[in-house]
Amino acid sequence: MTDDSRGEEPQQTIPETAAAEAPPQTAPSEAPIVPAAPAIPADMPAPAIPAAVPAAVPADMPAPAIPADMPAPAIPAAVPADMPAPAAPMYAPAAVQAPAAPPRKGLGTGAIIGIVAGGLALLIALIIGGVFAVGAAVGAVGGGAGNVEETAEAYLTAIADADAETAVSFLEATASGPLLTDEALAVSQKLAPLTDIVIGEPDVTGDWGTVPVTYSIGDTAVSTELSVYRHSDEWKISGGTGQLSVYHLDGLEPTINGIPVSGEYVDALPGAYEYGVAVDGFAIEGDAVVLMTSPSEYPDTSGMDAALTTEAADAFRQAVSASVDACIATTTLEAGCGLAIPATLSDGTQLTDGTITRSLPAETRAEIGAFDPELDYDVPTLVKGGYLGSVEVTAECTKDGSTGTCSVLFAPSLGTPSMNLAEDDAVVEWD
């Protein structure tokens, strides 16, 4: 209902009399005798004109109800259809002033009903428009998988629940890898659980946006932003995974959270990850656990190297010692461990093959039992020893026709031992 209808009482309208079309007139053959116009007394009152609406309507009077089955009022004819047209008068009748029509002070019931219906239609249109406006506003931060806050929370919650399939569903379709699994996330949650998830107010423009989030990974508090984008009416986490380097452990059969990995980098979700190697005798030196605190992070693992275990180092030293013992027990000119000597020495002395005696000085024996193994740079499973010391050699010899037992000065020292622990039945080799 509009403002025009307020404060006014409904008024009935006076139906206009439709004038019937007069039949065509024909001129009379003779002029009729017209009687003189009757005289109107000067003091005769003018006839009252009936009013269709009472002069005064009570302000609280309700609008009359119109029955639904009420027929439309008939329009009275001004002239009966079969009445002949009167003859044209020969004189001009006195002009009679028509009474003035009463002023229209309000609207009819039909008009009121129309206004009400129109107002209701406008109100419904505004409501529908508001719903679409709200829908559009929600659409700016929502998608088929819910709005951006729900997407961010569901993604982090799935990680905390070790539900890799759900977490990965919020990433690009190409996201895959050995660490994007329930197994990897389960170990991660044991090492340092992801807790205390709080989602902030997103900042979205069109199909792109960011969501501030905070959470904890173990004892480490994290405050970061998740980048989001709309794809096929769903919100996705842009990136969503960081990368862990493994190239520095190539050849050692690296593992992360107990899962074999290979290549230079592997994708991982936020969490805790423990490095390891599968080759017997090796272990990660120092702290083997790294935290990926947020997506798209590349944790620094430059100081994470593999080293021989204490047991493997001791085993290597024992293997070297056993090899040395075998070498010095040889009485021939040819011997392993880098101890071969020529038959003729530089001063012309000739040694008798089969009479060679080799022995280890005390300092050499001590070094063999305590040296620190080293790992080869190019072949990380190749373990090496350094300089171990000299060897004492005596032999039957002949010089200038004289034969006897000679001490060989400047006899060869022990060579460099090495062993590839990745090989089955590995043995000590000498350079």
Both 247 and 330 in a single domain? no
Q: pLDDT category, 43, cuts 50, 70, 90?
A: low
Asked if residue 116 is part of any domain, the answer here is yes
User: What is residue 121's predicted lDDT score, i.e. its pLDDT?
Assistant: 52
**Alpha helices (H) along 251-328:** 310-328
Greater confidence (367 vs 87) lies with 367
8-state DSSP, 368 = H
Q: pLDDT category, 162, cuts 50, 70, 90?
A: very high
Structural domain ending residue among the three candidates 308, 338, 369: 308
Q: Which residues lie across from 201 on neighbouring strands?
A: none
Q: What is the mean pLDDT of residues 393-417?
A: 94
Asked if residue 46 is part of any domain, the answer here is no
Most confident of the ranges 26-35, 36-45, 55-64, 350-359 = 350-359
Both 384 and 285 in a single domain? no
Both 270 and 375 in a single domain? no
Structural domain ending residue among the three candidates 124, 140, 156: 140
Q: What is the mean pLDDT of residues 414-422?
A: 95
Structural domain ending residue among the three candidates 122, 140, 158: 140
Asked if residue 91 is part of any domain, the answer here is no
Both 205 and 274 in a single domain? yes
User: What is residue 78's predicted lDDT score, i.e. its pLDDT?
Assistant: 42
User: What is residue 108's predicted lDDT score, i.e. its pLDDT?
Assistant: 54
Give the full edge-to-edge strand order of the sheet including 259-260: 259-260, 254-256, 271-277, 289-292
User: What is residue 119's predicted lDDT score, i.e. its pLDDT?
Assistant: 52
Both 179 and 274 in a single domain? yes
Number of other residues whose CB lies within 10 A of the CB of residue 292: 22
Query: pLDDT digit string (tens) for 286-311?
Result: 889 999 999 888 999 888 888 999 99
- CA dist 57 and 54 (Å) reads 6
Q: What is the mean pLDDT of residues 348-364?
A: 96
Both 372 and 256 in a single domain? no
Asked if residue 44 is part of any domain, the answer here is no
Most confident of the ranges 22-31, 86-95, 117-126 = 117-126
Asked if residue 169 is part of any domain, the answer here is yes
Domain that holds residue 426: 310-430
* Residue partners of 5: CB distance under 8 A and separation at least 6: 106, 107, 112, 115
Both 286 and 386 in a single domain? no
Both 233 and 377 in a single domain? no
Q: What is the CATH number of the domain that holds 280?
A: 3.10.450.50
The amino acid present at 107, given as its one-letter code, is L
Q: What is the mean pLDDT of residues 247-268?
A: 94
Mean pLDDT of the chain: 77
Q: pLDDT category, 98, cuts 50, 70, 90?
A: very low
| CA-to-CA separations, 318 to 36, 266, 324, 369, 431, in angstroms, rounded | 160, 38, 10, 7, 18
Helix, strand or coil, per DSSP, at residue 220: strand
Query: pLDDT digit string (tens) for 15-34?
Result: 343 333 444 444 444 444 44
Both 325 and 425 in a single domain? yes
Count up the domains in the chain and report the number.
3
CA-closest candidate to residue 165, choices 238, 266, 269: 269
Greater confidence (126 vs 427) lies with 427
Evaluate if residue 276 carries a pLDDT over 60: yes
Asked if residue 96 is part of any domain, the answer here is no
- CA dist 340 and 106 (Å) reads 131
Specify the pTM.
Answer: 0.61
Q: Which residues lie across from 195 on neighbouring strands?
A: 216
Both 261 and 398 in a single domain? no
Evaluate if residue 145 carries a pLDDT over 70: no
Question: What is 125-145 written as a DSSP string?
Answer: HHHHHHHHHHHHHHHHTEETT
Both 288 and 155 in a single domain? yes
Phi-psi region of 271 (alpha: psi -120 to 50; beta: other; left: phi over 0): left
Q: What is the mean pLDDT of residues 372-379?
A: 91
Both 380 and 288 in a single domain? no
Asked if residue 136 is part of any domain, the answer here is yes
CA-closest candidate to residue 359, choices 316, 397, 414, 396: 414
Q: Of the given ranges (115-119, 139-143, 162-166, 204-208), which has the lowest mean pLDDT?
A: 139-143
Provide the token pair at 36.
Answer: 């003189």
User: What is residue 212's predicted lDDT score, i.e. its pLDDT?
Assistant: 97
Asked if residue 28 is part of any domain, the answer here is no
- CA dist 388 and 408 (Å) reads 19
